[in-house]
């Protein structure tokens, strides 16, 4: 765990003082957004669009994504919100990617409509960036000890003594009462580093989509592939996550959304939307 990259301590400027530190999660978010900007800017030049659009798209995707992810997190943890509304709303944790995906798509869609730009073509351009951002963001989750997996005794399992929340028996009993930890001794628990699993899988999907993008002939195809691949990855990963299982005591809310992503992506991949836009993207 490495939640703080560098702590500058208390800074005093013009009579004001404040604590300033570079936090690893925030730093990785910045790395994710700038990485997406770099690759999107490159691709906009390739297809003949103004590369200045990259900054607008990334900015509004960030704003919509952060708002959407936070709303999703609060809805998924309503019981904790009722107990501590201010703490949950103002907490730095809870940037759920599925909520961020929806919020980011809504924000970018509004932007594209404003400039009268073809949605499907830009969906293909953005698809590799979505999974790249997820891959980098998961590193930030690992560094702060958030979004880890179920308790495990595997050699590569890790513990987050100061995680969000900590991986202790008391913390699991309080925050994840549906998880059976009877086989583990009291104290610090080791868990699946699902953040690293997702980082590796998501980056593999990014490389596949990035290499495939130049061979796309039907607008929207790359975005549909993204929905299928990321939906599958997240559906499978949820079996190792601590999220509560709402459906048949087996599937989480994220898995239901993942299935919807897979079905929508597969349907439109087989029966793509006909567009008046040029086929070459």
Q: Is residue 43 part of a domain?
A: yes
pTM for this structure? 0.87
Q: Is residue 169 part of a domain?
A: no
| φ, ψ of residue 17 in degrees (nearest 5) | -135, 145
Domain region containing 88: 4-149+192-270
Q: Is residue 105 part of a domain?
A: yes
pLDDT in tens for each of the 281 residues of the chain? 788 888 888 888 877 787 778 889 889 989 999 999 999 999 998 888 887 899 999 999 888 888 888 787 777 667 666 776 666 555 555 566 677 888 888 999 999 999 999 999 999 999 999 999 999 999 999 999 989 999 999 999 999 999 988 999 999 999 999 999 999 999 999 999 999 999 999 999 999 999 999 999 999 999 999 999 999 999 999 999 998 888 888 899 889 989 999 999 999 999 998 764 444 43
pLDDT tens for each residue of 188-211: 999 999 999 999 999 999 999 999
| Contact by Cβ (8 Å): 173, 179 | no
Q: How far, in whole angstroms, is CA 2 from its chain's centroid?
A: 19
Return the axis-axis angle of helices 221-237 and 194-212, rounded to nearest 10°: 160
Q: Is residue 108 part of a domain?
A: yes
Q: Residue 255: which residues within 8 A CB-CB, separation 6 or more?
A: 234, 235, 238, 247
| Number of independent structural domains in the chain | 1
Q: Is residue 154 part of a domain?
A: no
Query: Rounded to an integer, what distance in angstroms lies between the CA atom of residue 29 and that of residue 153?
Result: 30
**CA 158 to each of CA 108, 161, 166, 238: distance values in angstroms, whole numbers, following the listed order:** 37, 10, 12, 18
Q: Is residue 184 part of a domain?
A: no
Query: Rounded to an integer, what distance in angstroms lies between the CA atom of residue 226 and that of residue 67?
Result: 22
pLDDT for 189 equals 97
Q: Is residue 200 part of a domain?
A: yes
**Of all helices (H) and strands (E), which one includes residue 112?**
helix 97-114
Tell me the three state secondary structure of residue 215: helix
Q: Residue 281: which residues within 8 A CB-CB, separation 6 or more?
A: 47, 121, 124, 125, 213, 216, 217, 219, 222
Query: Rounded to an integer, what distance in angstroms lies between the CA atom of residue 5 and that of residue 26?
Result: 10
Cis status, amide bond into 216, omega within 30 of 0: no
Query: Rounded to an integer, what distance in angstroms lies between the CA atom of residue 198 and that of residue 134?
Result: 8
Instruction: Find the largest Cα–Cα distance for the chain.
Output: 64
Q: Is residue 173 part of a domain?
A: no
């Amino acid at each position: 765990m490495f939640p703080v990259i560098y702590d500058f301590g208390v800074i005093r400027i013009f009579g004001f003082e404040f604590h300033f530190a570079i936090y690893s999660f925030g730093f990785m978010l910045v790395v994710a957004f700038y990485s997406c900007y770099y690759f999107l800017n490159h691709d906009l030049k390739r297809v003949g669009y103004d590369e200045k659009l990259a900054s607008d798209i990334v900015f509004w995707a960030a704003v919509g994504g952060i708002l959407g992810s936070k709303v999703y997190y609060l809805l998924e943890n309503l019981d904790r919100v009722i107990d501590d509304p201010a703490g949950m709303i103002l907490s730095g944790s809870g940037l759920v990617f599925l909520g961020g995906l929806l919020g980011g798509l809504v924000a970018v869609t509004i932007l594209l409509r404003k400039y009268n730009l073809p949605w499907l073509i830009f969906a293909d351009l953005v698809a590799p960036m979505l999974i790249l951002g997820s891959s980098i963001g998961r590193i930030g989750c690992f560094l702060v000890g958030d979004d880890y997996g179920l308790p495990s005794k595997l050699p590569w399992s890790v513990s987050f003594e100061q995680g969000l929340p900590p991986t202790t028996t008391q913390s699991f009993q309080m925050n994840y009462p549906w998880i059976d930890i009877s086989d583990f001794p009291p104290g610090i628990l080791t868990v699946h580093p699902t953040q690293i699993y997702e980082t590796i899988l998501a980056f593999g999907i990014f490389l596949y989509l990035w290499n495939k993008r130049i061979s796309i002939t039907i607008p929207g195809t790359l975005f549909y592939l993204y929905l299928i691949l990321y939906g599958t990855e997240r559906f499978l990963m949820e079996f190792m996550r601590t999220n509560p299982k709402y459906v048949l005591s087996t599937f989480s809310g994220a898995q239901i959304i993942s299935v919807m992503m897979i079905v929508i992506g597969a349907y439109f991949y087989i029966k793509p939307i006909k567009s008046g836009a040029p086929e070459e993207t």
